[in-house]
Structures are given as structure tokens and as C-alpha cells.
Chain A
Amino acid sequence: MRQPFQVEVDEGCQRGLHLRFHFADRVPDELCETVLARFDDAFAGWEALGARTVRRVIVPFRFELRWGHADAELSLILRFSATPEERVLDQRSVEQLVTQLCTCELAA
């Protein structure tokens, strides 16, 4: 199946650690709950950004997810503390997770 999102590496100062996921429609609704259930130490929060609400889920010392800052965009910010192998694994985990969520939403 074709991936329901495109991944772009941010070339800014967080070079190589910041990946942007662009969705055709929107970030999957159940993302926060799913990540919290999947990763033991994960915690969530939110903040107002002008008229928008940014959701944040952090898996300490591994990665952070942010969405709501732009339409249909998810930011994956990998942590320095994670090894290169862990970063690859975490990116793959997030990609699989959002693919599953998108597939479920399409089927529903």
C-alpha cells in the first residue's frame, strides 16, 4: 500500500533530527492515545499557538511528536540521546503507527 503521508527532512538548525510528515487530509485523530499506549514513558501536553492548538507527545530521550502547528503536518523531532540505530527504529515505529492509524480511518 502507498504511504498515506510524505516525509521531509528539515534542513534547518535541527538538521537531520526534525522530520515533517505531510498528510493528504489530516493527522490521524487517535495519534496521541496510540503513542501514549505504545511507549511506556510517554507523556502528552498541548499549548496555544495563536489560534491553533499544538499537541505534543514526548517519549523522553527518544523523540517528540508535535502537530496542530500547521494543517495536516506532523513533526517528529528525534533526540540526541538516542543512538543512530534508535533514531532509525523510532522513525520506523512512528511511520508504521501513523500508517496503521490512517488505514483504520480509511476503513472506518
Chain B
Amino acid sequence: MTRALAPAAPRDHGRFLYGGEPLVFHCNFYNYWLQKTLLLDPELQMEEVIQAAASEAAGQMFRRAAAALPGGGTTSDRLALAVDSFAELGFGTVDLSGVSAEGGTVTLPVSHYGQCFRQVVDSDFATPQSLFDAGFVSAAAAFVHGVPRHTFQATIEACASMGAPSGRIRLDATGAALTFDGYAHEAHSAGDPGAPFADTSVDEAAILGALGTLDFSGNEEGLIPRFGVMLTRHFASFYNRVSFEFLRRMDKTGLLDAAEMLLVDTGYRCAFHTFGGIMTSAEWDAVIRPQCKTRADWVHGMVATVNALGWGVWRVSELSEDRVVVRIYDDYESCGQLDMYGRSERPVSHLAAAAVAGTMNLIYAADIHEKPTLDLDFYARAFEQDGLFEPEQTRSMAMGHEYTEIVASR
């Protein structure tokens, strides 16, 4: 299966760029919980934000990818790049052949935000969930037909999340209702993460090497079933834009603290499903578990795995049964804050904070090594009882520090 793809390259501090856009791994459960959180209050109008953020990230990627094509590429070159990028990154399959510069209809036979979301709740949604798809295809259609990115307004006419056999999105050349204007990826820690934690039998370099040989491209359905979860290799900028706009809008209603707590809670879902899925997966058993002799080793094994996710470089600087200190160089949330909005007065790494505490809860409080079923009972044991690990963001790249530091203790 040969695809027409944008230039891709690893960068330092664990980053990976596709068409110049940093990519991060997240699974369908996190994507579902994040969107559910964002859409809690309809008055925040986050549906428009999600579409606009998707269009922004995809549009920036397409613009840079076109620069690598001779003469910016032909229409068919650009069409192939758009369709293949959607599949490669785990978003599904898309047919853009029914769209011209004047608009038209896009079909999505398979969608991460459609079928995979429906898989999470095991029933039909009342409203369409493929908001990311709508933003992506509006940017893709504009790119393919050489018109400005903000040309199309997308309307979701059918969505697999609601039980439709496939998705259908109408594009009208009336201009997008909301747009974001892009950003430069300039934020970067000059700090040296140094070597991984020494007092462990876990060999991070060997783990990164082994994971680096695995194929994380979307399959023929444009999906990435890996580590027992359904992954996307997603735009970090998309997560940042929707999360920070959520915080800004909640702040205007005096609910910033509550909004931050909601994002941390969403991060716990990520830790539970993604990290829990990883630590109970065949991949973990084959590559990482053989190196783990103690619970501390499990922490280091998980940290080594995180360092393959595009989330920056994590370094454990202190670890006991009741406390962990993790320093993160170029965590994607801080980088996004600096690139999009400038220096922050508060820490912004809510996903990272939840992931650190969640890792400790899974390993020290909930015995993930016993391979429990990742159900609601186990979630309550790992994240809802008294005496669990709580995270605190003690340093933040977004506030001007050299690295972000998360302390989780119980």
C-alpha cells in the first residue's frame, strides 16, 4: 500500500513532524472524552471551535506539504495527499471526488470520530461527532482546488457515530463560520533532558528502538488498531487549540479552575484507556514487561513508551511508592500555548499532569500488572477512591521555565 504523504521527520525531544505539524498519539477513548468535555456547555459554541481547529491544523500541514511538491502539485497530486494523509494518520477513509471549488459532498466510509466513537459508547449518538472530519475535509477541499482555506462551510449530513453506515459532509463555498489563523512552531526548550533514570532495569533506548520498528500507519480502513486500542496519530496543534479555547471561554464565565479540573479528568481517561491498554497489551508483554522487575520499573517502562508518543521527553527525577517527580522537555501543551497565545500565567499541561498521576495510580494503587479488565469498576479503583495520587504542576515551560515539572503524590 503506497500512499502520497507529506514530508515526515523526527525531531529532538521526542517530537515527530508530518508536513511540519507535530504529531501525538491518542486513542479513541481519549478523543471521545475530550470532545464530550468540550461540548458540555452548548453556549461555549465549541463545535465551531473543533471544526476550525481541525481546519487550521490540516490547512497548515497541507500548505507545507504543497511546498514540497513540484510547482505545488497537480490537482490529483493534492487530492491523493489529502486522502492518503487522512488514512495514514488513523482518521479513516475519505472520498473527496464529489467536491469542486464551488463545493459538493464528501463521503467517509470509515471514520475514527464516527465508527470508533460509536464503539466507545456502544450505542448511537444523538448528534454527529465527526466535527474534526468536517474541519479536515473543508481544509482538504480548499487545498485540492487551490482556493483559500476558509472558503468552505461544512455541514455534517450523516455520521457513523449516529448509526449511519458511512459519513457524509456537505461543503458550501460560503466561507467558514469561524477561523483560526495559524501559528509558527517555534517554542522549544533549550534544556538538556539528560539520560533516563539510572536506577532501573528498564532500557529506554532499547524500548524506543523496538517501538520504532513498528508500523503505526493507518491500515486499509485508515485506522490504527495497536496496543489494544484504536490510535490516531493526531495534530498536537488541534488538541492545543481546542483545549485552550475551551479554557478561555470557560474563564470568561468565571469557571477557569473548573475547566482545568475537567481537562485533568479527561487526561485520567487517557491514562486509564491508553496507558492501561498499553500496559495490558501484547506489545507491552513482548517488549517492556520482560525488563520490569519492580513496580518502579513499570513506571520507567511506561515513561519510555510515552517518549515514543510525541509528547516531549519525560524524565523521572524522583520516584518512590508515594511520590514521583517527572520533568518534561517540550511537552506539547506548553509548546502549543507559547506558539498560539504566548507565555502563560498558569501551568497548562493538564493532560501531562493527569498522565503522570494516572500512571502512578495504575501501577501503585490499582495493580495494573495483574492485567485487570479495563472496565468501570477498575476505573473507580484506579481513579475515584480516596488516597490516590494527585498531580501538581510545579514548573511550566508555558510560564517560562526550562521544562515542565509534574509532582504526583498521595
Q: How far does the alpha carbon of A10 sit from the alpha carbon of B374 in the complex, in Å?
A: 10
Decide: A81 near B286, CB < 8 A? Known: A14-B225, A48-B210: no
Cβ contact within 8 Å between A12 and B228: yes
Closest to A51 in B: B286
CB pair A12 B277 closer than 8 Å: yes
Whether B120 contacts A47 by the Cβ 8 Å rule is no
A70 touches B285 (CB 8 A): yes
Q: Is the CB of A12 within 8 A of B287?
A: no
Smallest distance from the beta carbon of A16 to chain B beta carbons, Å? Answer: 7
Chain B residues with a Cβ closer than 8 Å to the other chain, count: 34
> Who on chain B is nearest to A70 by CB?
B282
Q: Does B122 contact A (CB under 8 A)?
A: yes
| A17 is an interface residue with CB less than 8 A from chain B | yes
0/1 interface trace, chain B 89-124, chain A, CB 8 Å (1 if under): 000000000000000000001100001100110100
The interface-forming segment of B212-220, B242-250, B251-259 is B212-220
| Binary flags per residue of B262-299, CB closer than 8 Å to A gives 1, else 0 | 00000000000100010010110111001000000000
Inter-chain contact A81/B110, CB cutoff 8 Å: yes
Contact at A50–B286, with CB atoms within 8 Å?
yes
Contact between chains at B115 and A13 (CB < 8 Å): no
Asked if B285 and A47 sit within 8 Å, CB to CB, the answer is no
Inter-subunit contact A47/B213 (CB<8 Å): yes
Q: How far is the CB of B108 from chain A (nearest CB, A)?
A: 11
Quick check: which of A22-30, A72-80, A89-97, A98-106 contacts chain B, the rest being far away?
A72-80
Closest to A80 in B: B115
* Residues of chain B with a CB closer than 8 A to A61's CB: 220-221
For the complex, give the distance between the alpha carbons of A79 and B119 in Å.
12
Closest residue of chain A to B290 (Cβ to Cβ) is A50
**A50-B290, A70-B285, A77-B225 in contact; A11/B273 too (CB < 8 A)?**
no
CB of A2 closer than 8 Å to a CB of B: no
Q: How far is the CA of A64 from the CA of B27 in the complex (A)?
A: 20
User: In the complex, which residues of chain B have a beta carbon less than 8 angstroms from the beta carbon of A77?
Assistant: 225
Name which residue of chain B comes closest to A69, CB basis: B282
Q: For B120, what are the chain A residues with a Cβ–Cβ distance below 8 Å? A: 13, 15
A19 is an interface residue with CB less than 8 A from chain B: no
A13 lies within 8 A of B214 (CB): no
Question: B286: which A residues are within 8 A, CB to CB?
Answer: 49-52, 69-70
Instruction: For A65, list chain B residues within 8 Å (CB).
Output: none
B122, B210, B220 — most chain A CB neighbours (10 Å): B220
- Residue A57 interfacial (CB < 8 Å): no
State whether B228 touches A15 (Cβ < 8 A): no
Residues of B within 8 A of A73 (CB): 282
B contacts with A: majority SS? mixed
Chain B residues, CB < 8 A from A14: 119, 225, 228-230
> Which residues of A sit under 8 angstroms from B109, Cβ to Cβ?
81
Contact with B along A19-49 (1 / 0, CB 8 A): 0000000000000000000000000000111
Chain A proximity of B285: nearest CB distance (Å):
6
Which of A13, A49, A58, A60 makes the CB contact (< 8 A) with B229? A13
B360 within 8 A of A: no
Contact B221 A48 (CB under 8 A): no
> Cβ of B375 < 8 Å from any Cβ of A?
yes
Contact, CB under 8 Å: B220 / A49: no
Asked if B223 and A60 sit within 8 Å, CB to CB, the answer is: no
**Max chain B CB contacts within 10 Å: which of A18, A70, A79, A80?**
A80
Q: In the assembled complex, which residues on chain B have CB atoms less than 8 Å from the CB atom of A17?
A: 119, 225
Q: Which residues of B contact A49 (CB under 8 A)?
A: 210, 214, 282-283, 286-287
- A85 to B167: give the CA distance in the assembly, Å: 21
Q: How far is the CB of A78 from chain B (nearest CB, A)?
A: 10
Cross-interface CB contact of A13 among B220, B277, B282, B287, cutoff 8 Å = B277
Residues of B within 8 A of A11 (CB): 373-375
Which residues from chain A sit less than 8 Å from chain B, CB to CB?
A: 10-18, 47-52, 58, 60-61, 64, 69-70, 73, 75, 77, 79-81
B residues with a Cβ closer than 8 A to A are: 27-29, 109-110, 115-116, 119-120, 122, 210, 213-215, 219-221, 223, 225, 228-230, 273, 277, 280, 282-283, 285-287, 290, 373-375
15 contacts between A and B (CB under 8 A): A10-B228, A12-B228, A12-B277, A13-B273, A14-B119, A15-B120, A15-B122, A47-B213, A47-B215, A49-B214, A49-B282, A58-B219, A61-B220, A64-B225, A69-B285
Given contacts A13-B119, A13-B229, A49-B210, 16 further A-B contacts (CB under 8 A): A11-B373, A12-B229, A12-B273, A13-B120, A13-B277, A14-B119, A15-B119, A17-B225, A49-B283, A50-B210, A50-B290, A64-B219, A64-B225, A69-B283, A75-B282, A81-B109
